[in-house]
Structure 1
Amino acid sequence: MDTDQEIEVQLKSSADFQQPYQTPFYQILLFKGKGSFIVDFTEYTFSGNTILFLTPYQCFQWNSPATIEMECLRFHGDFYCIEYHKKEVACNGLLFNNIYLAPHITISDSIYSEISALLLKIEDEKQVGSNFSSAILKAYLQLILALCSKEKSIYLNNGALNGSSLPELVHFQELLEQNFIQERSPAFYASKTHLTPNAFGKNIKKQFGKTPTQLIQERVILEAKKLLHLTHKSVKEIAAELNFEDEFYFSRYFKKSVGLSPLHYREDVGISIVAK
């Protein structure tokens, strides 16, 4: 894959996403307005200057009648590995790969203009091209990711996004992180938080916009994606590690959620440099 295919900036319209859309690239979408969109079957609303972060093969669909123009930056994990550079930008688990947080934030006019200017610099550098282009493009990308990580951290610290005030919800996140491999029944987590399954389900849905079943499945799939991308383990080994009966059941489970097989996912997304 050459540099032209590994990172690019596109001007898009929300009309381009009227149907479910997936790609093996990480994506950052910058847009203004008011409306809603769907990511992995969960609907989110937005208003004002918005920046949205999508991981490879997340399913994205526009859900508003209004047509909005947007700037789209996409990059492949082979070009820039967010796990390898986590000390510099700290975006893995903050901007990307977090099932508990909304995938977007509202940003100020100044930050919006700064990121838009950096996207223009990426476009210009790709047009010019040089022996140093790859390094320059990575520097611009890293700056964008660092700025966004800083903004989202501020946003979260101010309690503006998914601030969980109920102890049982915090407890659920801790329980899920500890038990998702062995326990995939919502009833297990409801009992541990001392709530009826019905009350537990309503609280989780209200807080996260997702059902307990969705969150459990998303956590399993997130771990599967990490193992496929960050290790050289075989599909059989990953299936066993995630407590599936066999690799065939795991492959069906993965494909139903992601839309393609584990092997196809690994082929398109690649194996990270950290796997070495």
Structure 2
Amino acid sequence: MFSFAPYQPFMFSTDKKISGIAIQFHSDFYCIHRNPKETNCDTVLFNNIYQPPFIKVDKESEESFSLILEKLKSELKNVSENDYELLVPYLKIFLVTASRIKSQSKKNEPKITDSKTPYILRSLKNVIEENFKEKHSASDYATLLNISPNALAKIVKTHFNKTLTDLITERIIVEAKRELYMTSKPIKEIAFSLGYNDEFYFSRMFKSNTDISPQTYRDTVGFAKAELN
């Protein structure tokens, strides 16, 4: 099962015929950011820069998902305009189930034998979370972790197949999207809160990583939804 956030690029490459079911929902219908505790899927299924966007589904889980999907399909056929009383709960059940499976799969993964590496990675996640709004340089994080930039770069590349700069930038983009979607703050203010004094530099950085400008993203996904009501 794959879980993609809006505008997240992806591609399936195979020489075999594949099929599947896609569930797409707009944040106007159900917003995972406004209801983070209901499903726990915001950083488990979506917007998690440290994990691959997929999980393996065993037979038992497949049967559970199939039951929920059948209920969703049935309700979609019978739903009247603006009558989503059963669709939203079924969607929540699906997301909760998927989040639990992914959380459990992480617990069951084999542990890395190098004792230093998991400590460094855990520490890196923490320092990025604490400092990404102020520190954008890979060398800053190497200093915070008391490790050489080259050594940290090798560890990150080995375990995430990304550069440290990629991880920092992805975390910034996640936060920028959240602010653009959930608030009516001017883009200049959002840029400043993320450590960019130059609004235009921030906009270029955002577009180079998402293929759209901050304003286009805001206009496309909605505007200040969290400030309504």
Q: TM-score, normalised by structure 2?
A: 0.90
Calculate the aligned-residue CA RMSD, in Å.
Answer: 2.2
Q: Which secondary structure state, in structure 2, belongs to the residue aligned with residue 135 of structure 1?
A: coil
Mapped to 1, the partners of 2:218 and 2:112 lie a distance apart of 31
Opposite residue 127 of structure 1, the aligned amino acid is K
Mapped to 2, the partners of 1:207 and 1:93 lie a distance apart of 19
CA displacement at 1:143 relative to structure 2: 0.7
Matched, 1:227 2:179: yes
Opposite residue 96 of structure 2, the aligned amino acid is A
| TM alignment of 1:1-276, pairs within 5 A | 51-130=1-80, 133-159=83-109, 166-271=118-223, 273-276=225-228
Mapped to 1, the partners of 2:227 and 2:49 lie a distance apart of 23
Q: Which secondary structure state, in structure 2, belongs to the residue aligned with residue 252 of structure 1?
A: helix
CA displacement at 1:177 relative to structure 2: 1.1
Mapped to 1, the partners of 2:132 and 2:215 lie a distance apart of 23
Contact 1:53 1:104 in 2 (8 A): yes
Runs of 4+ in 1 over 6 A off after TM superposition: 161-164
Structure 2: unaligned runs, 5 residues or longer: none
Contact 1:171 1:193 in 2 (8 A): yes
Which protein has the bigger helix share? 2
Mapped to 2, the partners of 1:162 and 1:137 lie a distance apart of 41
Structure 1: unaligned runs, 5 residues or longer: 1-50
Mapped to 2, the partners of 1:152 and 1:173 lie a distance apart of 19
Mapped to 1, the partners of 2:134 and 2:112 lie a distance apart of 26
Mapped to 2, the partners of 1:81 and 1:158 lie a distance apart of 29
Contact 1:102 1:162 in 2 (8 A): no
Mapped to 1, the partners of 2:2 and 2:105 lie a distance apart of 14
Of all paired residues, the percent bearing the same amino acid is 37
Mapped to 2, the partners of 1:251 and 1:167 lie a distance apart of 34
CA displacement at 1:132 relative to structure 2: 7.6
Q: TM-score, normalised by structure 1?
A: 0.76
Distance change >3 Å, CA 125–CA 239, structure 1 → 2: same
How many residue pairs get aligned? The number is 226
Contact 1:162 1:207 in 2 (8 A): no
Mapped to 2, the partners of 1:161 and 1:61 lie a distance apart of 29
Contact 1:122 1:140 in 2 (8 A): yes
Q: Which secondary structure state, in structure 2, belongs to the residue aligned with residue 184 of structure 1?
A: coil
Opposite residue 246 of structure 1, the aligned amino acid is D
